[in-house]
Structures are given as C-alpha cells and as structure tokens.
Structure 1
Amino acid sequence: MKSAAAGRVANAGRQQPGPRWDRRTTDLLAGSARLTDQGAQLATADFAAWLAGRGREHSFAVERIDFADLKGWYFLNRTGNLVHQSGKFFTVEGLRVTTSAGLFPEWHQPIIRQPEVGILGILAKEFDGVLHFLMQAKMEPGNPNLLQLSPTVQATRSNYTRAHRGSPVRYVEYFAGPRRGRVLADVLQSEHGSWFYRKHNRNMIVETRDEVPPHPDFCWFTLGQLHQFLQLDNVVNMDSRTVLSSLPAVAEGPGSRLALHPDTEVLSWLTEHRSTHDWTITPVPLAGLPGWQRTAREVSRGDGRFFDVVAVAVEAASREVPSWTQPLIQPHGEGVVAFLVRDFDGLPHVLAHARMEGGLLSVVEVAPTVQCVPENHPVDKRPRYLDQVLSAQPEQIRYSARHSEEGGRFRNAVSHYLLVDADDALAAEPLPPEYTWLSVRQLERLTGAGLTVNVQARTLLACLRSAAGTR
C-alpha cells in the first residue's frame, strides 16, 4: 500500500486540470472583439480604401478558355481524368455514390481530388494591449470580385514547397517547421464535401512577439473589425472564415456549460448517423460519367443542373506565380446556407443537420439546417426547412450576407448565409432524426474537435459570433 508521501511524489509531475483556455487568451480575445477603431492599426473607415488600393496596385485578369488551352493540364487517355503534368496540385475525377440517406439514393459527379493537407494560418500579435490578426488582400481567380481578405497564409503543400517554382509564400515560417510563437488554434478541418474528395486543411492561429516584416498587401485588424467585415458581402474569404471559427470563445459566461441536450447525447446522435446508414462511395473515371458530357469548354450535366468543370487563364501580379491556367468548378445558381436559431432558457441554440456528403472522410458531419442551391431541387424534393428560411420575415433574420466559397477551386460560387429565428410552431414540433438543437458552445466544442463540423457550418459559426445579440 502506497504512503501518502509516495502518492504526492507520483503525482508531482502531473499537470493539474484547469480551464480550457488561459485567462490571458480569453481576456485578449474579448478585448479585441470589443474594439473596432480605438487601438486598431487601421481605422475601420479606411478599410475599403485600403482593399481597393491593393486591387489598383496589381493587375488581375481571369478569362474562360478551352480545355485545349490549358498549360500543363491534360485529360488522361484511359480514364479521362484531368491532371497536371507535375503530378502535383489536384486532379478532377469522377465519383459514384449510393446511399440510404438523403433525397437521392444514387448519383455520379466530377470531384476534385487533392490529397495534400494545406495550411490556413492567421498570425496574431498584441499591439498596446490589443490583439490583432494579420490578414492578406489576396486575389483568387474564382472570387466574383477577385480580391478578398484571406488568412496570413493560405497555401497548399505544393504551393509552400514551391512546386510551381514561384516566389516563396510569405510568413509561412510561422506555421510550418519549428514553432515560432504560441499556438491559439491548430485543428484539421474538412473542405467542401460536395466538390472535394477527402480534402483537409490545417487551420491555425499563432500568436507571435516577433517584429513581423511588413508588406503592403497585409494589414493587422482587431477581432471586432473582422466581425464587422463579416457583415459585408464577399469581403472575408472562406479560408479566413473557417480559421476564425476555430478561435476559443471570447467569454465563458455562466450558461456556457448548459444546453438543451447533454454533450454525450449530441455525440451519440452524430455517431448514430455515421454508423446506421448504408453508403458506397467509389472514385470512378471522369470519362463516360453517367449524366455528364465533355465539350471543348466544359464538363457539364445534360440537364444544366448543379455545376460545370471549366478552364480559366489567370493573371495576378501579386501572387507567387504571376500567370497560370487551371480548371475550376462553376456552380449553377446561388446557394442558401442557414441555421435556424432558437433561444432555450435564454441560451442560443442552432438547428443542426447530420448531413451526408460524398467527399467527406467520415461521410457525415454537422451541417447547417439548410445547405443547398434551391433551383437544383424539384418541387417534390425540396430540402427540409428551406421554405421556412426563404419565407422568413425581416424581424426573424439575425444575420444575412453573401459569401463566396473557396475561390482557388470554385468560380463564382456564392451562397447567401443566414441566421433565422425559428418560429414557435417549428420549435415545438418533433424533429426529424437527422436534426438536433445544439447550443452555440456545443457547436464551438465540436468545431474544435476537427473533422466534425462542415465548412458551411463553420462559416455560420464565425458569422454567429459577429452578429449582435447572439453572444
């Protein structure tokens, strides 16, 4: 039998349980979230002029071209897959999905396969007691307005290892290799499961005390300023939104551990939907993909629905490589992405969907209440809750903005992001089994776990934090 002294010696080296985040971090984040001008490196009123100035400083151009005009890209003879001659970057292949879940039991589609894990990293630094975040005015060929606010580093492995033989990626040394700062967030997250096959990125926020070399395409902003920019259409890009969603909560509050459903019940709900449905997801050749056809300029469906695969030529003087050609996915129609929101005992909850997507590693992740392009769905197969979102009255809408999706791979892919108050009747009715109410804290914790909350729901979490009255 061990003595008390022996027990104390045995436990001496063990870390004692403590809060999930240190007080300094949460205080800094809370202070940064409150400030939109005082203490900021750039006045919020000057932001639009700064962004527009960066656009005027560089020449940008994107032009649709024929597949035959792609440089370094070609269709394989045997499979018809679209590949790059270097074997790097990504390929466009086919996918066949059969499932017992959802409205469509079987479909075929093109999909992007990019097995590399990229880095999405935001550098943080304290200026005069206020935490700031270094953001980049970055051109991406698929953005409708080309230039948007991106993370400090937004790069695939091919890019930051310079497979393109271009200029080095600025500030990547803070996120790759030996650690040069204090990690505030570091989590592996999925990308769009409808258009990427098992694509993941490393979402990171690193705080530094170094003197960071300035560059005119980069600027420091407070968290409060970033929350304001999230209210604007097509300003904060997708990669910034997903990284911001990984930040710890700015305050823990007395109700932070309360929720309509216990965490164990939520995890069981998600696990059930990951394990009780049948699905077969098989990469197949792009050539001869049922329902799809290839012309000189696009790979598309005969009925004109969903999306096309197209080719573009790009000029961007501010990028590591000043000109290139590449394929892009171009969707048909504007998406609608929404959480129905409800307060239970004064605590905000969102109506989450355990959604199956063919490109996700775990197949099912936590998704928004509604996530679709309405015009792709016939009247008899309308996604559940879509009509409630579209018919919402102005007083029900907590948040509304249009955001573009990943501009490096998707062209003019814009979704209307909404947070909509659920009416009393909907809140009282029994839910379909694939839906459940999650508290905001539960959504934050699931996001922090990685590979659990999809990219659209993570965008809405960032928007939720920026919207007045939801924190």
Structure 2
Amino acid sequence: MSDSTSLVDWLAAQRRAQQCVVRPISLEDSTQWSWVEGRIQHHTGRFFSVVGVEDAQTGWLAPLLEQREIGTLAFIRREYDGDVHLLVQAKLEPGDLGLSQLAPSVQATASNLDRVHGGASQPFAELVTADPNAHVDALGSEQGTRFLGKFNRNVLVTAEIAAADLPGHLKWFPARELLRMLHDDHAINTDARSVLVSSPWELLVGDEPFASVEGAWSRALRESYRSTRAGVSEAAKDSITSLRTDAEPTWVSLDDLQGWSVDRQGQVTVKGGAFCVRQIDIKTNAREVEAWDQPIIDTAEAVTIDLAVCVEEGVAYFGLAPVVEPGLVNRAEWGHSVGLQGDGKVLASVAQSDEGGRFFQDVANYRLVLVKDLPAGSHLTWLTLGELQSLLAEGGWLTNEARSALSLLLYWI
C-alpha cells in the first residue's frame, strides 16, 4: 500500500540517505582490476573487460567495454485500487548525475545475480529471472559505440509484494507518476527507460495508451499506437537484416590502438579519442558491497539525440535511421533520427546521464522534434507506434538511444 509521499520527494530523500564517495585512482592502484594481455580485466574474469577493437565495416579503432553476459532489467507491476503501480528502485550508480536515480525493480548484471562481488543478493530477482508468464521478456542492446556484444533482458511481470517486505530503496508508486517524470532531467535511469518503452504500453496504465487526455496531439499518438500497415514491420526488419554481416570486429591490444595511449600509473588509463577510460574507487552505503573500484568511460562532450515525429492525416509517424555500430551483437539496428536536417519544433527535451554504472557523467540530450511534412526521399524510415511496438516486443531491432528517445512519449500516455 502506497503512502502519500510523492515520487519526486521520495527520490530526493533517497539521494540524501544514499551516500557515495567517488575518487580517481590509477589502474596500478586497483585491488580488483589489472592489465591482462592487452586488456583491462577483473580478477575473476567476470563483470566486463576493456578491450581494443578494430572494425573494418565501420572504420572503428577504439576501446570498447566487452560484456558478453546478459543482464536482467525488470519492473514488477501490480494493480491496486483501480490503478497500475510499479515497484520503483532508487539505484545509486557512481557515474550518474545525482548519483541515485529511479531504476527498475530489479537491475543486475549476470555477475551481480551470481554474487561474484561477494555482497548482498538482489531483492526479488527470483520473480523475474525465469517467469514464463512475463508480459514481456525482450533482449535490448546497449550503446554499440561503447559496449561490445552487450544485451540485457527487458522484463515486465505482475506480482504482489507487501510494502512491509520492501527494503528502503524500493517502493510502490502509481505508474503514471513515474511516467510523468520522463521529462525530468537526470531522474529516471537508462535501464528504466528501456524497460518501460519495451513493455506493452497498455499494461503500464491499465487502459488504452493516450486515451486519458484529449487534444490533437494525444489523438495523433493514440491513432499511431493503433495503426499497423501491412508488411511495414517486416520490411523494416528486412532492411536492417540486409546490413547485418558475419564479419566480427577484431580484438587489438589497447597499447597497439593507433591514436590511443595507455598510462597504467595515471588517473586516465586510456585516452586518445572522443572519450577516455578512467579507474575510479567507490565507497557507498547503498549498494551490494560497500567499496569497489572499476574502469569507467568518460566522454568529453554532451551529445544530442533527436527523434523526429511527423503528423499526417491525424497519425503520428516517427523517423528512424539504420545504424551499423562495432559493438552491436547483430551489427545493425534502427537508431534515432541520425542526420535530421531542417527546422522543427522541439516538443520535449530532457538531459540524461546515461548508463552510470559504466559511464562517468556522460550527458545525452534527448529531444522529440516535430517536422511539418514527411520528407520525400528522406534517409529516415517512418513508422507508427503500433509498428514500433512489434519491434520492441521482439527485441534486438532498436538501439538503446532510440529506445530512450521513444520513452519521451510515455509522458503523455
């Protein structure tokens, strides 16, 4: 049973209670990570490694985080007093702005679920690890220019857990309250956005999406969610499949990466491009263990990620671009509106510090941009929400960035 505390106030209280100190160290000062045959690796061989990658298809020559094990990201839902509630977690990550952000009920790497760290277990993980009745269980990629071969399960299940059985960093809230915060800067983390947008949207609100508010914009979104054109989703998949190749990126020793340098004694371990790799030491009262150290990616500049939308004959269409990236398991997926040109009206804009468990305060500005007409001969492919839903449910077709951009729409649901 939820009390009257608002989600905004609860997050603020959690941020005050969850303490964390992050300080830079050198790789040689690490007690858990070391240089192993040209890569940076955890002493167990688990979690992830920092590797050098050369990719002939994309021209990529830079480090990536190799994390082949599949993580679990899951929201637990229930219906209470005529409304859908979600079990929300306040999750501290060393690289997130604000440190603590709103996260899925369960958010864990396979290494964390196996308790490789030797610390506490993940509450309620048993409810989502193998539920045959899950509403969705879809694989989603991570950023293909930062991760190599990384997939997460995006899961939504229904279960009843008494409030008295919840630890302090987990709490039931109405789903709409969480969705309304998707336009708040640095409030809802990457993984929560991915699970929410990958779920059947009607199960997030217990009603037809976009039916609660009247107006031309809501009607355009509602009609878009209802609309699927014959063969369009299959054609979108065929288009991406044609870009997928069997050619694997080549592993290169980090100290052999042209244009990059390695310093195991310095505070920047690997540098040379748009980002660098640092080693950080973390002490906190809000995670499975109280202290650890790890490599983390630090990107120099914020990026802007646009999703174009056009309303035609009362239906909203969204422009996606095919992207080929070295780290994607399948090499190609539908991305956000890369290369969007011309004037448009910004309907929504939010700043996010993406993937704070692996990136250090890396800011992406996500924008929803309304364009007047469907451009003739555009490099973008225009899909309805109904068509996008089928791709999201199947998994593996939309990039992490595209999923986060689409999550902006849930504000109006």
User: Normalising to structure 1: TM-score of the pair?
Assistant: 0.79
Partner of 2:61: 108
1:83 to 13, 36, 41: 41
SS of 2:134's equivalent? Answer: strand
Report the alpha carbon displacement of residue 281 of structure 1 after superposing the two structures with TM.
1.8
Assess if the C-alpha contact under 8 Å between 1:42 and 1:220 holds in 2.
no
Structure with more relative contact order (C-alpha pairs < 8 Å, separation 6 or more): 2
How many residue pairs get aligned? The number is 392
Assess if the C-alpha contact under 8 Å between 2:237 and 2:397 holds in 1.
no
Report the alpha carbon displacement of residue 73 of structure 1 after superposing the two structures with TM.
0.5
2:2 to 31, 38, 41: 41
Quick one: structure 1 residues 191 and 132, their matched pair in 2 at CA, closer, same or farther if it must change by over 3 Å? same
Partner of 1:69: 29
Report the alpha carbon displacement of residue 403 of structure 1 after superposing the two structures with TM.
1.2
SS of 1:230's equivalent? Answer: helix
Q: Which amino acid aligns with 1:316?
A: T
Q: Distance in 1 between matches of 2:294 and 2:270?
A: 17
Q: Distance in 2 between matches of 1:465 and 1:124?
A: 16
Structure 2 unpaired stretches of 5+: 203-207, 210-221
SS of 1:419's equivalent? Answer: strand
Assess if the C-alpha contact under 8 Å between 1:397 and 1:419 holds in 2.
yes
Output one character per residue of 1:225-264: Cα deviation in whole Å (capped at 9) or x when no partner.
1111111000000000000011113237666234497333
1:141 to 91, 94, 103: 94
Partner of 2:392: 447
Partner of 1:235: 187
Output one character per residue of 1:179-234: Cα deviation in whole Å (capped at 9) or x when no partner.
4x942211111111111111011111110134361222111122211111111000
Partner of 1:203: 154
Quick one: structure 1 residues 58 and 339, their matched pair in 2 at CA, closer, same or farther if it must change by over 3 Å? closer
Larger Rg: 1
Partner of 2:267: 297
Partner of 1:342: 310
Q: Distance in 1 between matches of 2:307 and 2:375?
A: 17
Quick one: structure 1 residues 260 and 331, their matched pair in 2 at CA, closer, same or farther if it must change by over 3 Å? farther
Report the alpha carbon displacement of residue 345 of structure 1 after superposing the two structures with TM.
1.9
1:214 to 160, 166, 182: 166
Output one character per residue of 1:53-97: Cα deviation in whole Å (capped at 9) or x when no partner.
122223211111222221111112xx3200111111111001001
Partner of 1:332: 300
2:227 to 246, 257, 264: 257
SS of 2:256's equivalent? Answer: coil
Partner of 1:373: none
Assess if the C-alpha contact under 8 Å between 1:400 and 1:417 holds in 2.
yes
Report the alpha carbon displacement of residue 48 of structure 1 after superposing the two structures with TM.
2.7
1:319 to 272, 287, 301: 287
User: Normalising to structure 2: TM-score of the pair?
Assistant: 0.89
Output one character per residue of 1:394-413: Cα deviation in whole Å (capped at 9) or x when no partner.
xx111110112111111111
Assess if the C-alpha contact under 8 Å between 2:179 and 2:410 holds in 1.
yes
Output one character per residue of 1:81-138: Cα deviation in whole Å (capped at 9) or x when no partner.
0011111111100100112xxxxx5231101111211111111122222221001111
1:422-433 alignment, distance < 5 Å: 422-424=371-373, 427-432=374-379
Assess if the C-alpha contact under 8 Å between 1:339 and 1:352 holds in 2.
yes
Assess if the C-alpha contact under 8 Å between 1:261 and 1:437 holds in 2.
no
Cα root mean square deviation, aligned: 2.1
Partner of 1:35: none
Q: Distance in 1 between matches of 2:29 and 2:56?
A: 35
Partner of 2:15: 55
- State which drifts further: 440-449 or 243-252: 243-252
1:246 to 198, 204, 229: 198
Q: Which amino acid aligns with 1:464?
A: L
Q: Distance in 2 between matches of 1:319 and 1:220?
A: 20
SS of 1:456's equivalent? Answer: helix
Assess if the C-alpha contact under 8 Å between 1:292 and 1:299 holds in 2.
no
Partner of 2:218: none
Q: Distance in 2 between matches of 1:237 and 1:254?
A: 29
SS of 1:428's equivalent? Answer: coil
Q: Which amino acid aligns with 1:228?
A: R
Q: Distance in 1 between matches of 2:121 and 2:239?
A: 45
Q: Distance in 1 between matches of 2:239 and 2:45?
A: 40
SS of 2:289's equivalent? Answer: coil
1:143-158 alignment, distance < 5 Å: 143-158=96-111
Report the alpha carbon displacement of residue 422 of structure 1 after superposing the two structures with TM.
1.3
Assess if the C-alpha contact under 8 Å between 2:77 and 2:84 holds in 1.
yes
Q: Which amino acid aligns with 1:41?
A: S
Structure 1 unpaired stretches of 5+: 1-39, 100-104, 371-383
Quick one: structure 1 residues 263 and 90, their matched pair in 2 at CA, closer, same or farther if it must change by over 3 Å? closer
1:120-131 alignment, distance < 5 Å: 120-131=73-84
Output one character per residue of 1:287-336: Cα deviation in whole Å (capped at 9) or x when no partner.
2111100122224444xx41100011101111110111100011110011
Assess if the C-alpha contact under 8 Å between 1:182 and 1:206 holds in 2.
yes
Q: Distance in 1 between matches of 2:80 and 2:157?
A: 15
Q: Distance in 2 between matches of 1:264 and 1:451?
A: 14
Q: Which amino acid aligns with 2:268?
A: E
Assess if the C-alpha contact under 8 Å between 2:93 and 2:357 holds in 1.
yes
Report the alpha carbon displacement of residue 49 of structure 1 after superposing the two structures with TM.
2.5
